[in-house]
Every structure is written in structure tokens, then in C-alpha cells.
Amino acid sequence: MNKEIFVKLLAQRQFKAVRSILDVMNEVDIASLLSDLDDKELALAFRLIPKDKAAEVFANMNHSMQTYLVEMFSEKELKELLDDLYMDDTVDLLEELPANLVNRILNTVDQADRTLINQLLNYPDDSAGTLMTTEYVDIRETMTVAQAMAHIKETGIHKETIYTCYVTDQRRLLGIVSAKDLMTTADDVLIRDLMQTEIISVSTHTDKEEVAQLFTKYNFLALPVLDQDERLVGIVTFDDAMDVMVDEATEDITKMAAMSPSEKSYFETSVLAHAKHRIAWLLILMFSATITGTIITRYENAFAAIPLLVSFIPMLMDTGGNCGSQSSTLIIRGIALGEIQFSDLFRVMFKEFRVSLIVGVALALANGIRILIMYKNAGLALVIGLSLVATIVISKLIGCVLPLIAKKLHMDPAIMASPLITTLVDTCSILIYFNIATQVFQL
Amino acid sequence: MNKEIFVKLLAQRQFKAVRSILDVMNEVDIASLLSDLDDKELALAFRLIPKDKAAEVFANMNHSMQTYLVEMFSEKELKELLDDLYMDDTVDLLEELPANLVNRILNTVDQADRTLINQLLNYPDDSAGTLMTTEYVDIRETMTVAQAMAHIKETGIHKETIYTCYVTDQRRLLGIVSAKDLMTTADDVLIRDLMQTEIISVSTHTDKEEVAQLFTKYNFLALPVLDQDERLVGIVTFDDAMDVMVDEATEDITKMAAMSPSEKSYFETSVLAHAKHRIAWLLILMFSATITGTIITRYENAFAAIPLLVSFIPMLMDTGGNCGSQSSTLIIRGIALGEIQFSDLFRVMFKEFRVSLIVGVALALANGIRILIMYKNAGLALVIGLSLVATIVISKLIGCVLPLIAKKLHMDPAIMASPLITTLVDTCSILIYFNIATQVFQL
């Protein structure tokens, strides 16, 4: 859909045309189309969206658009919207609204929903509880397939997914039945005989990253969420798990480059916010790097005697940093994907040690040959070669150990990524280098 | 399930107990359980898996287990497995098998499947064509809901998903109907009146990263794949898209740390393979870093006169590298998520320029104060401050421009990440630093 045409039609108040465009468009695309309108046009356009799509479009809007619309809505409009919004989207909305609008919404919904919403808002930020929706299909084990299908036909339209049905008794989860099973099984089969009873579930307090990992592993469409009394309180659907996966990967990547993660996209984040997210780590790393500088001054005599020594500093520092970040990156990603645990520490260290020996010797040889050709100085080749091997072994070990220790201490392994490791490795490589140099050249 | 108990029961040939364990277990977990068995036990255990789970378990096994089983299978067993495997899993299997086993499989399937398989194997490696499955539910627009449901009950059991049904006429895609719509609509409604006609689809040659992005954006369960003549040839399901997303993020993260991506997990990759993946970039970066070293030697007189100058090299190099990698990381991730395009180049540059000014001045002030306190040397504070601002501005600009240029040149933006940028920025920062120093101190 061409945005300009849409804006023009709307400005000319050609409501019929606008409505027929909105009629055929996907909800996600409508939300994106509306994001280009100014506030007044937005309220107008939103009211032209077909009723069965409005809630879904709303759920796909950014927070500032949502806030504006909630402010504009009449009581009746607000009630209609809230009736159609799934519970997880309502909670998402409330988490971002200013307090006065939150109160307005809580006053609009009925008592039961209000209690539920308050409960959902109280779950820890990164838990399955805040991710889940409370609308799911529940059936009884004594129903037949035909009865279950009839039950879905009646109630299913208001559920976020009907493709996994939950067999419950007094809110205790007995089994699950997929819509595929229902649709391909004879009408008179009992749910009891069809349901799967080996169920994988999470608790309301399960970390959402762990929830997302279960989705990736098992390819679920939905996952039941149980409370502390093992009662079914909601489900997480695959679309929310997918969002978590993408967000977590972005967060990890951001942290690995020494920045505080932002919830907004690059362009949505202001210049000041960008600067704020980046300065803290840069300051810490900058002052740590001065330690390396201070160490260098201790070897003033060495590079006064052989000034050429200074010229190898960048190469050693960079190689150490790169080696360390290679190892830490692999380990951080392995931890994030659930492939590496803290208990693998020694296995990882042994593996990295062997890898670093191979890499170190290869790089030392390559550089040694270059130095022999360029400077015809075997002593220098030896110093650089030994420094390289030692630096690479140490940086790879630091790179693999730190993320695992962070994990053990319940910190995010991603902050143990290249920048922090580079700074640490710098100090090590300078110490190694000048110590070897002073020994070999007897400075 | 406790693996040791399972292995013990199997070793004791307690087939009944083994079978009842396999009966209640999830397919993914069975595959993981079987990966701990040796080959002989594996073949035995596989034959004990309930028939309706065997193909799914097989699809979740690693390639070496699959290869072994295909070698072991009788003609009859192989035929049964291939009948139950979805087409995308069959193609995955064939892509990894040695040629003699590929031939064995192609001889086992019937002529129609053989033609189809050959066609699927011919799609480009990273395309929707290799990702898709050819089993989907197709219905006619003249059917009623009840007729469509009856059709699904007959044929649906062999389809990878029945939750999105495709309305076709001579393989032309007219519309889609979700199983939810079918299940919640009156029996006598015509499919024609129920189907959605605004369809988002991909072509067989669409890059699989693009396919995955569509899934994240629209939360689809499945996406239709059309050939060059706009005929429906298959569907991609969300589970495959999820795998692509995870793999692509891992690949990006790996490349961003100057390594060749590996298709295997950390522990599955051998020490030699790890070393191989890491050496190439390290060599390139090491030799590039020697350029910075060579530049330093040109300023031998400067640091012979003021040896203290050398001690600021690590701090300047690290800060420049960190700033560059912050910018490049944000841009690379933005490109991967489809939020940033090449056309945004100047917008991005202007934003990064403003961010870098704020960051640069903040860091220069912090460091200037430190230097004034520690060395009481205003000239030095000025040199370091100016060098910092200039280094930060340049490194942030390099960091944001290179990934966008890579994208424009159809290279992977991820290789323009921190290590490469660090090396480039090092050279810049050293040049800036010594030029400012020689000017200010008139060396």
C-alpha cells in the first residue's frame, strides 16, 4: 500500500476508499501505515479500521500511538477495545502507560479482569507470567472430539490460539490435545483417549529467555504456564517467544559491544539516549586502558634502547583482543543457546587451550618469518613469536573463563565480551611482551 | 528421563519397559536420549520407537546418527521412514548423506517424489526453496466449511501443518483460510466467502533470512512459496523460520568476532576446525595492525623526546576501537532486523556524528581532568583531549558507514564488525594523536 495515497485519501475524507483499503490490509501493515500519520489523523483513521481488526492493529502499534489513542477514546470505545485485546497485550499496554491512563483502564474493565490484570502486572519483569495470555481453550477429558469441537466453535473466537487445547480438571492440567488431532480424529473418540499426558510446562516465574529456548527446542505453538500450586493460569504463544528470541539476541549483541541495551530501535532512540547508553562503558574501559599505559611507562628504558619495540605494541594488543573476543563470543552464544553450562568449565578451558596453541604457533611463525625478512633480526623474531603464543593462550583462556564465571554469579555473560576482555588482555600482553623483551635483549 | 536408566534397560533387553518410556516421551527428547547410545544400541532403540513418532524423532537426530540408520535400514524400513518424513526433512537428510546413500534413497521413493526431490535439491542453498515443505492442505473456493473440514480429516494427517489451508485453482493461490476460521465458522459458509485474498508470499528464490524476517514481523504460522510462474509449490512453517533466525543470529555474532561461522555447536566442532575458523581473520588483522606499528616508528623522535606519549597509545586505541564497534554493532543489527537500509546512510552518519561529539567531549573532559591532576600538564591534557574527540568522531563514522557499504555491495555487513574496524581505527587514532602532539609540543 502506498502511504502517500492513503494519507491523501484520508485528508480528502474519502472514507469509503480508506475503509476498503483497510479492509484488505494485514493488521501489522495497517499499524505501520498509521505510524506516519499525525495524531489527529491517527484517531480518525483508527476509527475506520474494521472492528474485527482494530484490536490487533492496536496491539501492533508503538507505545506513543497507543497512549494517544487511549487518551482520545470515549468510555465506550475504550471498553470495546479492551474487550477485544488479548490479556497479554492489555498488560503490555498498561506497563507503558502513564498512571492516570492506567487508572482509567482499570476503571473500565470489570472486577474479575481488574484482579487478573493486577496479578499479571505483579509478575517479575522477565518472567513467563508477564509474557503469557490468560485466554486459552480448556476442555474436559470426558468430552468427545465432537463435543470439544463444538465447545471451540462457541468460545474459540476470543482465544489467542485454539491450536493447542488444554484438558483441565479444577484448573489442574491433565493433558493437551492439538487442534490437528481433533480435526483428524473420529467424532466419537473421547478426549481422555486422545490427549497427551506427558506435558512440558513452565511456571509463572520462569525466565522468559528459558521459555523462548523451550520453543526453539520443541517447536511448540504454545506452552502452558502453571502457578505455584501447579494450576494452569495461562499460556505463552510462539509469536511472543519469537519476539523474546529476537530481543534477547539484540540485547546480547548490544551488551557485547559495551553498550546498555535500548528497548527502542536505532532511529527511535534519541541522540542523547544513544550517548548515555555508550558513555558509561567507554569511561570504565578508557580508565582501565590507562593501566596498560602506566605499565608501558615502567619499560621506558626498554623502548628507549630499542625504539622498534614500540611498533609491535598495536599488533600484540589487537591480536590478543581479537583472540579473547573470539573465545568469549563463542562461549557467550553457547550459553545463550543452552549448549554450554558452568559445569563445562574445564572441558572448555582444555579445548580453548589446544585451539590457542595451534593458533598461537601459526601466527608466531607467520610473524617470525615476516620479521626475519624485514629486519633480519632473529632475536626480535623470537621475542615477538614467544609473546604472541603467550598472549594468545592467555587471552583465549580469559575469554572462555570470564563468561562462564559471570553465568555462575548470575550476571549476564554478555557483558564479559570483547571490550572488557580486550582491556584485560592488553595489560597481560604488554606485561608478557616487555618481560620477554627485557629477558632476551638483557635490557 | 534419566539417561542411565534408559541405557541400562536397553542393555538388559527389557523391551517392554523401553517401549513404554518411549511411548510417553517427546520426539525431541527421544532424539537427544538416543544420541548417547553407541551405533548398535541406536538401531535397536530406534526400532522400538512407536511408529507414529519414528519419523519425527529421525528428523530431530544429528546427521551422523541419521547416516548410520539409513545404512542399517532394510528396504522396507527405509521406505516406511521416507513415507512418514516431511519433504523438507527428506531434503535436509539428502543434503548431508554420502552419494551412495543418496542414490539408495532416490531408488526407494517413487518416480513423482524423485522428480520433486531433485527439484528441491536444486534450489539455492539459502533460499525459501530449500526451506519449504511440499505437503500442505489445499482446498477449493467452492467447498463449504464442512466440506473443507472433511477434506482435512481425510488428508490432513500427513501434512506438516493444517492450520493454514490454501485455496487453489490449478495450483494458482487464490486465498488462505486458517483452521481457526474453519473451526469457528458455520458449516455451510463457502470457503470463497471466508478466505483472505490479500496474501503475503515468498518466491522459491527468496533468501531465507528475508523469509524469517517476515515471520517475525507478521507472526505467521506458515508462509506460501510460489514459483516463477506464481504457482504454489510449497510452504515454509514457523519452526523452520525460528531455526533460521537462531542460526542467522549465531552466524552474525560469530562473524562479528572475526571467525568463520560453523554449522556445528561449540563442542561438536573439533579443535582443529575451531583453529581453522579463527586463524584466517587473525592473520589478516595481525598484518593490518603492523601498519599501525610502522606508522608509530615514523614518530620515533616524538616519543624519544616525550616518552610519556607512548603510555597513552593503548587508551586511545582501545577507546577508538570500542566506539567504532559500538556504532558498527548497532548498524549491523539494525540491518539484520530490517530497520536500517543503505538509503539511511546520511541520516545514520548525522546521528552518529552528534552522538560522537557528546561522547567525545565527555570522555575528553574526564581524561583531561585526570591528566591535569596526575601530571599537572595542560598541554598534554589538550593533546589527549583533542585526540580523543577526533578519534571518537572518526571511529563512529567508520563504524556506521562500513556495514552500510558492505550491504550495498551485497557483502555480509557482519564482517565489518569490531575487529576490522578496530584495526582501521587504530591507524587513524595513532595518526591523529602524533600529529596533534607534534603540533602542540612543536616536536
Q: Is residue A385 scored above 90 in pLDDT?
A: yes
Q: CB of B308 within 8 Å of any CB in chain A? A: yes
3-state helix, strand, coil in chain A (%, to 5): 70, 10, 20
**ipTM of this predicted structure:** 0.77
- Please name which of A281, A79, A373, A210 lies closest in space to residue B359, comparing C-alpha atoms: A281
- d(CA A133, CA A328) in angstroms, rounded, equals 36
DSSP conformational letter for A166? E
The CB-side HSE value for A219 (13 A sphere, CA atoms) comes to: 18
Q: CB of A272 within 8 Å of any CB in chain B? A: yes
| Res A422: pLDDT | 81
Phi, psi of A224 (to 5 degrees): -75, 145
Angle in degrees, CA B248, A332, B247, rounded to 5: 15
Find chain B residues with C-beta within 8 A of A340's C-beta: 266-267
Task: Provide the mean pLDDT of chain B.
Answer: 88
- d(CA B123, CA B134) in angstroms, rounded, equals 14
**Inter-chain touch A266–B326, beta carbons under 8 Å:** no
Amino acid identity, residue B223? L
DSSP conformational letter for B167? E
Closest partner residue to A315 (CB to CB) among B272, B290, B339 is B290
Phi, psi of A68 (to 5 degrees): -60, -45
Could you read off the pLDDT of B163-185 as tens digits, one per residue? 999 999 988 999 999 999 999 99
Cβ neighbours for A29, distance < 8 A, ≥ 6 positions apart: A1
For the entire predicted model, the pTM comes to 0.78
Could you read off the pLDDT of A258-291 as tens digits, one per residue? 788 887 888 888 888 888 888 888 888 888 888 8
Q: CB of A369 within 8 Å of any CB in chain B? A: no
Mean pLDDT across A119-142: 89
The residues in A 42-71 lying below 8 A from B, measured between CB atoms, are: none
| Res A144: pLDDT | 95
What one-character-per-residue DSSP string does B73-91 give?
Answer: --HHHHHHHHHHS-HHHHH
Amino acid identity, residue A130? T
Three cell numbers written together for B349: 552518519
Q: Which residue of A has its CA nearest to B315?
A: A289
Torsion, Cα of A11, A13, A14, A17 (10° steps): 70
CA distance B293 to chain A (A): 4
- d(CA B421, CA B403) in angstroms, rounded, equals 10
CATH of A277-439, one of 1.10.357.20, 1.10.10.10, 3.90.1530.10, 3.20.20.70: 1.10.357.20
Instruction: Label residue A52 by pLDDT band (50, 70, 90).
Output: confident
| Res A92: pLDDT | 84
Is domain B1-119 classified as CATH 2.40.50.110? no
Q: Is residue A157 scored above 90 in pLDDT?
A: no
CA distance A143 to chain B (A): 17
Name which residue leads in pLDDT, A128 or B307.
A128
- d(CA A27, CA A196) in angstroms, rounded, equals 34
Angle in degrees, CA B319, B324, B325, rounded to 5: 100
Largest separation between any pair of C-alpha atoms in chain B? 94
The residues in A 119-148 lying below 8 A from B, measured between CB atoms, are: none
Three cell numbers written together for B204: 522459491
The CB-side HSE value for B337 (13 A sphere, CA atoms) comes to: 21
Could you read off the pLDDT of B123-162 as tens digits, one per residue? 888 899 888 988 899 999 999 999 999 999 888 878 888 8
Closest partner residue to B326 (CB to CB) among A259, A283, A362 is A259
Could you read off the pLDDT of A198-214 as tens digits, one per residue? 899 999 999 998 899 89
User: CB A145: neighbour CB atoms within 10 A?
Assistant: 22
- Please name which of B439, B441, B436, B434 lies closest in space to residue B299, comparing C-alpha atoms: B434
Q: CB of A409 within 8 Å of any CB in chain B? A: no
CATH of A134-236, one of 3.20.20.60, 1.10.340.30, 3.30.450.40, 3.10.580.10: 3.10.580.10
Q: CB of B273 within 8 Å of any CB in chain A? A: no
- d(CA A93, CA A105) in angstroms, rounded, equals 10
% of residues, chain A, pLDDT over 90 = 31
Torsion sign across C-alpha atoms A360, A365, A366, A370: positive
Residue reference for cell 490479556? A87
Q: CB of A257 within 8 Å of any CB in chain B? A: yes
Phi, psi of A268 (to 5 degrees): -70, -25
Query: Per DSSP, what are the bridge partners of residue B177?
Result: B165
Q: Are strands A222-226 and A202-203 parallel, antiparallel or unpaired?
A: parallel
Phi, psi of B317 (to 5 degrees): -65, -45
Q: CB of B19 within 8 Å of any CB in chain A? A: no
- d(CA A390, CA A384) in angstroms, rounded, equals 10
- Please name which of B43, B52, B55, B41 lies closest in space to residue B6, comparing C-alpha atoms: B41
Find chain A residues with C-beta within 8 A of B363's C-beta: 279, 282-283, 286
Mutate to test the interface with A, among B251, B418, B433 (most CBs of A within 10 A): B418
Closest partner residue to A258 (CB to CB) among B279, B315, B326 is B326
The CB-side HSE value for B270 (13 A sphere, CA atoms) comes to: 3
3-state helix, strand, coil in chain B (%, to 5): 70, 10, 20
Q: Using CB atoms within 10 Å of the CB of residue A104, give its burial: 0 to 12 exposed, 13 to 18 middle, 19+ buried.
A: middle
Mutate to test the interface with B, among A216, A252, A313, A315 (most CBs of B within 10 A): A315
- d(CA B109, CA B116) in angstroms, rounded, equals 10
SS3 of residue B420 by DSSP: helix
CA distance A363 to chain B (A): 7
Q: Using CB atoms within 10 Å of the CB of residue B376, give its burial: 0 to 12 exposed, 13 to 18 middle, 19+ buried.
A: exposed
Find chain A residues with C-beta within 8 A of B310's C-beta: 293, 296-297, 300, 303, 310, 313
SS3 of residue A202 by DSSP: strand
Find chain A residues with C-beta within 8 A of B89's C-beta: none
The residues in A 338-357 lying below 8 A from B, measured between CB atoms, are: 339-340, 344, 347-348, 351, 354-355
Q: Is residue A418 scored above 70 in pLDDT?
A: no
- d(CA A33, CA A42) in angstroms, rounded, equals 10
The domain spans of chain A are 1-119, 134-236, 277-439
Q: What are the Cα distances from residue A229, in Å, to A87, A120, A208?
A: 21, 16, 20
Q: Is residue A399 scored above 60 in pLDDT?
A: yes
**Inter-chain touch B275–A362, beta carbons under 8 Å:** yes
Mean pLDDT across A393-399: 93
Mutate to test the interface with B, among A161, A187, A219 (most CBs of B within 10 A): A219
